Amino acid sequence: MRIAIASDHAAFALKQVLVPWLQDQGYAVDDLGTHGTASVDYPDFGHAVGAAVASGAAERGIALCGSGIGISIAANRIPGCRCALVSEPLSATLARQHNDANTIALGARLIGEEMARACITAFLSTDFEGGRHAARVAKLSQTEGFLS
């Protein structure tokens, strides 16, 4: 499985720990930046992860910033990206099972390395249940009638 990962400066250190760990787990990893601790704008990196997943260049995405909030909003601006902000393994599991999330966001200032690994493990090892959830997930892409 190919995973796109990106972070802003606030989550750079966490990304530096997660990339080699993911590779050791056998995943192909595309590190989309940032590549240092200099201040950057999280939307740029949220958009990059969202675009990689939505285009099919990666099967899953991991977006990291200080809180996880901003980068998750940015990733979700890309049609076809379904990014869930998670903070523990149960939310990561449910994001996959019920929402077919293809990207998760984590807040580096809010969770530690071990919890990040636990969330990612749950996210990557859980399948979408489909069934009653499929029609709901399809509605996530529908905007006709809501914007005028």
- What would the pLDDT profile of 110-121 be if each residue is shown by its tens digit? 999 999 999 999
pLDDT at 140: 85
pLDDT at 130: 87
pLDDT at 147: 62
**Per-residue pLDDT at 148 exceeds 60:** no
pLDDT at 144: 66
- What would the pLDDT profile of 12-31 be if each residue is shown by its tens digit? 999 999 999 999 999 999 99
Tokens of 39: 């201040």
pLDDT at 129: 84
Task: Put the strands of the sheet holding 103-107 in their side by side order.
Answer: 28-31, 2-7, 60-65, 103-107, 83-85
pLDDT at 46: 98
Catalytic residue selected from 9, 47, 65, 119? 65
pTM for this model (two decimals): 0.95
Active site residue 83: no
- What would the pLDDT profile of 25-53 be if each residue is shown by its tens digit? 999 999 999 999 999 999 999 999 999 99
pLDDT at 141: 82
pLDDT at 57: 98
Chain-wide mean pLDDT for the chain?
95
Active site residue 65: yes
Residue 64: strand pairing partners: 7, 106
